[in-house]
Structure 1
Amino acid sequence: MNKERLLQRFLQYVTCASETYQEREFCIMMEEELTSLGLHWERQEIGEMFGSNGWNLHAILPGTGAPLLLCAHMDTVAPGYGISPILRDGVIYSDGTTILGSDDKAGIAAAMEAVQTIVEKGLPHRPIEFLLTICEENGILGSKYADYSKIISKEAIVLDNEDVGHLVNQAAAYMKIHFSIQGKSAHAGVSPEKGIHALKAVAECISGIECGRVSEISVVNVANLLCPGQTNIVPEKADFDVEVRSYEEEELQSIVQNICGHVEKVCQAWGAKFCKTENRVSNAFCIPVTAPIIEKTCEAMRSIGITPVIEQTLGGSDITWLVENGLAAINIGVGMQEVHGCKEHILFEDMISTTEVLLRVLTT
């Protein structure tokens, strides 16, 4: 591997803005890189389905043996424009006014460096597939709507976890619910008693929903309360969102039913009406620790002095839809820290280690 090239590649990636729904420029950059390495690639034009100007990229480098899919997402959270990376004492930061974008461009950089090293040195390797996705940060949409008929691999490594050496083999079921509460408007000064206060009804709904870690295996959160209007009008409509995550489907469904029952009861007491929209973001899964992809990856980690840690997560990532579509997939750490904020950073040595692990898995 060329460490300086790895560093420059990463810096180039993060300075090319690709906030969710605005990935086009970075998609084009990746097409140019894939072409330069001799990989055959295709666009999966799915962005228009959910308002993105980008597309998934599927690429393959022929080899010998069982193929392996490498997956990472090209989009970032905001603020992701004008990123100015700073290398200080072996750690890469943003300038503090934006995110860094190591989530997930550190994963892409490590994968591309590993493949370039293989191509340049003519190393024997297994067939290598890439699935680079869009809109992961807002609903895991790129991998959800990917064209899996083109995927030849039965195993996959997702490069979208934090600590190097940590390997996710189990993730939670994840559901979002949008509630819309309909009250009745009235003049707040002249005839407030004729109104049905949608905002106060929603406030009571939210106050009765337990949030945070509601059990050892489940979490709940409430967000996006919206009730625009004027102060002299009794609010007639208010909306909010709830998300529920659980490692067990039965518990997830129980929590969702309890929340919906609570909202219905509150609305009845206020004389309001409500409607809800449920969105299944992902299903729960567990890849056995004896799966070959786990054993091979752990062996590669140990070979460079990293002790593997197999773990579960309540977070979402592309791995969910890979598993849903029949791949034995794991999500490995690449070193990103304090992601989704302006303090995001990554130890460059961790990017080097990630690249080394990939080289060993791909060439073994």
Structure 2
Amino acid sequence: MTIAINRERLAATFAELCEISSPFRKEGAIAAYLKDKFAALGADEVFEDNSAVKTGSESGNLIVRFNGSLPEQQGFFLSCHMDTVEPADGVKVVRTGDVFSSKGDTILGGDDKSGIAAILELLTLLKEHNTPHPMLEIIVTTCEEIGLLGAKHLEYDRLLTTYGYALDSSGIDHVIVGAPAANKIKVEIKGLAAHAGLCPDAGINALTLAAEALSSLRMGRLDEESTRNFGVIQGGVATNIVPERIVLRGEVRSHSTDKLHRYTKEIYDTFEQTVARWQGGPATGDKRPLVTFDIIGDYPALSLADDTPVIKRIRKASAMAGKNLQYIVAGGGSDANIFCGYGLPTAIIATGMDKVHTLEEQLDLNDLVRLTEILHAVATTPF
């Protein structure tokens, strides 16, 4: 069924959400706001999990259940994250026509408050029109912006639904059905300090070794499915000291698990071989450089086939509602990757957010209305 979205109510909700400061690990105020909102909308359960113990946030994740009136239909979940990047204190929303922005000294917060606003409007519409719907669970995570920490520590045994949709992407009318897995990589090279002017031959230059290894590795786009990057290099004490310790932090991403492992192993092998080839002189004696690695699986891949219920449902709903959605593959990771890793197929629905993580961030109300229409179709189309 189709229904007219209350545009101004949706706009007011979005602006109100954006002006609640909620940078990562400081989500307490918005969590309290949302718990009150969900309770007022008639939630059958509003649960805050204990993830804050592990994430360091002021709040746990929220898991909210609306039982609905159609127990014979499969329920599903909708997910957003309540944290933002910084600067996020003192956000003042500016509306110019239908376009929202900040005053220019903070982010806006559309990532991911656009998704939260659409969910709240959906729930309000279902309540005020007494619209039949299956079970809906709402997952609102913390600390997404600093490594998907909330999703990684969600109490999954509290969930009753088995698939759903994460509202967290730029653009509109897009459904992301594929996203890469990623490994985080830390490489530490330990050399030997020496005075760079008086006795440089007595040192083992960790920076030179790091540079040699890096220059042997391809970076950026490795193939149509994979990327590799080192973005942080730390080390050195002074210009007159041979650098003893260098730490590099990078990542490998791929839609292919085999390629993810292969390109990660290339890093390991290259640094090991570079250090093994090093030849010292009389001044270094029996001292040798050492390289150590810390390789962490950051998140698994997301890959959803057309015949999975999560995709069949939104395809049916969008067709019934006359929405022409595009099903695409993306290059980033999100809470949806983590959910998929826990056996909960999750598609990502674009929310209209634009220029996120910048002071020029903006959102068009027309896109937010369109998102809410999509969600309403998914919630009310029999499946």
The TM tier, using the shorter chain, reads over 0.9
The answer to whether residue 171 in structure 2 is matched with residue 194 in structure 1 is no
Match of 2:78 among 70, 80, 102: 70
Q: Which residue of 2 aligns with 1:2?
A: 6
Q: Which residue of 1 aligns with 2:212?
A: 204
Q: Which residue of 2 aligns with 1:253?
A: 261
Counterparts of 1:21-40 in structure 2 under 5 Å?
Answer: 21-39=25-43, 40=45
Q: Secondary structure at the match of 2:150?
A: helix
Aligned AA for 1:14? C
Give the stretch that moved more between structures: 307-316 or 230-239. 230-239
Cα distance between partner residues in 1 of 2:153 and 2:365: 33
Contact 2:21-2:30 at 8 Å conserved across structures? yes
Q: Secondary structure at the match of 1:223?
A: strand
Contact 1:136-1:143 at 8 Å conserved across structures? yes
The count of corresponding residues between Structure 1 and Structure 2 is: 364
Aligned AA for 2:317? A
Contact 1:165-1:301 at 8 Å conserved across structures? no
Cα distance between partner residues in 2 of 1:338 and 1:303: 31
Cα distance between partner residues in 2 of 1:100 and 1:300: 31
Aligned AA for 1:61? F
Contact 2:54-2:153 at 8 Å conserved across structures? no
Cα distance between partner residues in 2 of 1:194 and 1:161: 53
Q: Which residue of 2 aligns with 1:61?
A: 66
Q: Which residue of 2 aligns with 1:42?
A: 47
Counterparts of 1:196-235 in structure 2 under 5 Å?
Answer: 196-235=204-243
Match of 2:92 among 84, 94, 97: 84
Contact 1:44-1:56 at 8 Å conserved across structures? yes
Cα distance between partner residues in 1 of 2:358 and 2:16: 20
Contact 2:236-2:244 at 8 Å conserved across structures? no
Aligned AA for 1:250? D
Gaps of 5+ in 2: 279-287
Cα distance between partner residues in 1 of 2:297 and 2:67: 36
Q: Which residue of 2 aligns with 1:52?
A: 57
The answer to whether residue 140 in structure 2 is matched with residue 117 in structure 1 is no
Match of 2:363 among 346, 350, 355: 346
Q: Secondary structure at the match of 1:336?
A: coil
Give the stretch that moved more between structures: 336-345 or 199-208. 199-208
Q: Which residue of 2 aligns with 1:11?
A: 15
Cα distance between partner residues in 1 of 2:27 and 2:376: 28
Give the stretch that moved more between structures: 338-347 or 103-112. 338-347
TM-score by length of 2: 0.90
Aligned AA for 2:344? L
Contact 2:193-2:205 at 8 Å conserved across structures? yes
Counterparts of 1:118-137 in structure 2 under 5 Å?
Answer: 118-137=126-145
Give the stretch that moved more between structures: 175-184 or 318-327. 318-327
Match of 1:332 among 334, 349, 371: 349
Shift, 1:305, TM fit:
4.3
Cα distance between partner residues in 1 of 2:337 and 2:21: 26
Cα distance between partner residues in 2 of 1:228 and 1:120: 63
Shift, 1:208, TM fit:
2.9
Cα RMSD over matched residues? 1.7
Cα distance between partner residues in 2 of 1:227 and 1:97: 33
Contact 1:14-1:101 at 8 Å conserved across structures? yes
Give the stretch that moved more between structures: 246-255 or 339-348. 339-348
Contact 2:175-2:348 at 8 Å conserved across structures? yes
Cα distance between partner residues in 2 of 1:20 and 1:268: 42
CA shift digits 1:183-238 (9 cap, x unpaired): 11112232222111122222333333322111111011111211152223222111
Gaps of 5+ in 1: none
Match of 1:322 among 319, 329, 339: 339
Cα distance between partner residues in 1 of 2:146 and 2:298: 10
Shift, 1:125, TM fit:
1.2
Contact 2:321-2:377 at 8 Å conserved across structures? no
Match of 1:144 among 133, 147, 152: 152
Identical-residue share of aligned pairs (%): 31
Runs of 4+ in 1 over 6 A off after TM superposition: none
Cα distance between partner residues in 2 of 1:220 and 1:238: 19
Q: Secondary structure at the match of 1:161?
A: coil
Shift, 1:177, TM fit:
0.6
Q: Which residue of 1 aligns with 2:284?
A: none
